[in-house]
Structure 1
Amino acid sequence: MNDALRAALRQTGQTIESLASQVGVDPKTVGRWLTEDRIPHPAHRATAADALGRAVSDIWPDTSRRREPVWFRPWQEIEREAQSLRWYESLVLPGLLQTEAYARAVLGGAGLIPRADVERHLAARLARQGILRRDDPPLFTAVVDEAVLRRPVGGRATMREQLLVLAEACAEPHIRVHVVPSSVGAYAGLNGPFVLATCPDHRIAGYLDNQLQGQVVSAPDEVAAILAAWEAVRGEALSHWQSVDLITEVAETWT
């Protein structure tokens, strides 16, 4: 039972039917939000909270914690508290920089996640992005392969929007993106993606992803190996502003 939603309905004089009408969903859907504590689509969450005069977090607090797989939660805690994040991807953009349309295409495109669960995973991913919008965000540095910019994830319109949003995000002082150009041959990044988080106590933890689940690594020798891989991929990448120019240039090819 979602007691916060029930209280908001009572205090505002709204009914399940009236809220459903304002959000644009079936009353049965709102009923499930209420009695089964289902998490709405991000756009529906925002519209419903606005109609009730509440913050989304007041009605659906910490949705990412509740909706991410159990195995991901240790890394989620590290990510949330990190002072800096260094992220390398060779196939897709980092999840914290993905637009809603791009993230939906990534999650649903492979067909490995049941269709009914895609929106749940999407809501969790978008909620995690809030760490980059905090008053005290971590220093976020990403390195991506140029192939990521040219892979048609979600179609041309989705790619154009995603790359323009990415270029805009690069104007933030705490966000840096570097692209490894396609002219680079074999390099360390071809061995797979990874993330490094520097914690408040200056410890460093790593995260490795695979087809089944992710793995948090903290043993000194393992962290040292990932740090070496980071230095190698960063050394092959363009500067931040050269990368922004390339991202903007490629965005225009998706028109």
Structure 2
Amino acid sequence: MVKGPVASRVLLGFELRELREAAGKDVEAVVTHTGWYATKIYRSERGEGALAAAEIDKLLAFYGASKATATRIRDIAAQARRRGSYGKVPDWSRQYFGLEQDATELRFHQGELVPGLFQTEAYARALISTSKTVAPADVDDVVQSRIRRRSLLTGKNPPEVHLVLGEAAIHCQVGGPEALVEQINHLIDVAKLPNVTLQLLPFAVGAHAALGDGFSLLTLEIGGGPSKWVYVSDLNRGECRADPAQVRTYQLTFDSLVVNALGEGETLARLRQTRDGLR
């Protein structure tokens, strides 16, 4: 079930595109009728923006939507116009956080650092304090926003989560040895959750398809079927992509990492060994 405004925007986009195509209208016809730019129509059909109630009504009338269809779409549009509650996060990452909240499956790969969803407060603070895009006055708020995300792993009907973590991430002393010990202990606890699979990708694997690249794969149930996304980011921006060819490339890459990574039992043993060596 769609819960958040971002997923509702995606569902709304699916519905509007299907309605337009069923009505035999192309984008140029919508541009002529509404006076909007074509980019606005494409963005709304990709779920990248919420339309005002009057704008929805204009489209519904132009597409000749039935009363039942119009009621359903207006309800979805109302959900899409709600503001999400993600705390202090960059504007460019809000789409990802919105999709993450509604995901049924999450897949992560990071080579050198623990992803945000799995971070302790000390580890997160040490990382965020080095950021050139977060003002010092905002560090506390950003840290707390990140820590609140962890409830996703243990809440009601949590997503199925799979993390393939590079071995370098449990040796890089983010925040110092004590903070890293705490972080590794947290990973051990998280790995025991029934909905979480954690695997370490050891140094011995050498070259692999995702060397130097981190990414997240998300699956949501939208419009009666799975909607799959990949999220990639750098220092200045992040992007959620739903293009099937791109998502498949990342999924195949993730599958290859799973094959080469340590099993869950071996991963726990390596985590404990590394932790004990830091004490």
- Identify the TM-score tier after normalising by the shorter chain: 0.7 to 0.9
SS of corresponding position for 1:195: strand
Asked if residue 232 in structure 1 is aligned to residue 256 in structure 2, the reply is yes
1:106-151 Cα distance to aligned partner (Å, 9 max, x none): 1113555321121121111111111112021101110011010001
2:235 corresponds, among 203, 211, 214, to: 211
1:130-186 Cα distance to aligned partner (Å, 9 max, x none): 111202110111001101000110000000111011101111111111001111111
1:181-220 equivalent positions in 2, closer than 5 A? 181-200=202-221, 201-220=225-244
Query: CA separation in 1, counterparts of 2:261 and 2:228?
Result: 22
In structure 2, the residue matched to 1:169 is 190
CA RMSD of aligned residues (A): 1.6
In structure 2, the residue matched to 1:137 is 158
Query: CA separation in 2, counterparts of 1:126 and 1:208?
Result: 21
1:82 corresponds, among 103, 111, 123, to: 103
Percentage of pairs with the same residue: 27
In structure 1, the residue matched to 2:68 is none
Offset, 1:99: 0.4
1:177-215 Cα distance to aligned partner (Å, 9 max, x none): 100111111111214000001112311111001111111
Quick check: 2:107–2:218 contact (8 Å CA) kept in 1? yes
2:135 corresponds, among 107, 111, 114, to: 114
- After TM superposition, the score normalised by the length of structure 2 is 0.66
Query: What is the count of residue pairs matched by the alignment?
Result: 194
Quick check: 2:112–2:167 contact (8 Å CA) kept in 1? no
In structure 1, the residue matched to 2:16 is none
In structure 2, the residue matched to 1:92 is 113
**Which of the two has higher C-alpha Rg?**
2
Query: CA separation in 2, counterparts of 1:94 and 1:244?
Result: 18
Indicate how the Cα distance of structure 1 residues 176 and 237 shifts in structure 2: closer, same or farther if over 3 A, else same: same
- Gaps spanning 5+ residues in structure 1: where? 1-61
Quick check: 1:64–1:125 contact (8 Å CA) kept in 2? no
